[in-house]
Structure 1
């Protein structure tokens, strides 16, 4: 079986609430952790989200 190129990741809020976004990324093209500014519906403003792996 071929090794998967895309990995399911979760982007967790820096504000330490329980909100997260799920997405995939290509491990080969971007090996570093992703940091994105996304909208947090709990705080109702844009804040930084950081990548953490999900357990399968």
Structure 2
């Protein structure tokens, strides 16, 4: 079962990306290093509520 989630930048808290997550396989919050347009560099993006 997959669930749609939103990723937010750890530095500026801007919600930049959305993706799907397999809930049954991964129980913890997703953290991915992605490019933030506001910061202008690659930063950690965390799953929001």
TM-score (norm 1): 0.76
Larger radius of gyration: 1
Q: Which segments of 5 or more consecutive residues in structure 1 lack a partner in the other structure?
A: none
Structure 2 spans left out of the alignment, 5+ residues? none
Preserved CA contact (<8 Å) 1:35 1:49:
yes
The change in CA–CA distance for 1:33 and 1:17 in structure 2 (over 3 A counts) is closer
Detail structure 1 runs of 4+ shifted over 3 Å in the superposition: none
- Pair 1:39-2:31 in alignment: no
Calculate the TM-score normalised by the size of structure 2: 0.85
Residue 11 of structure 2: aligned partner: 15
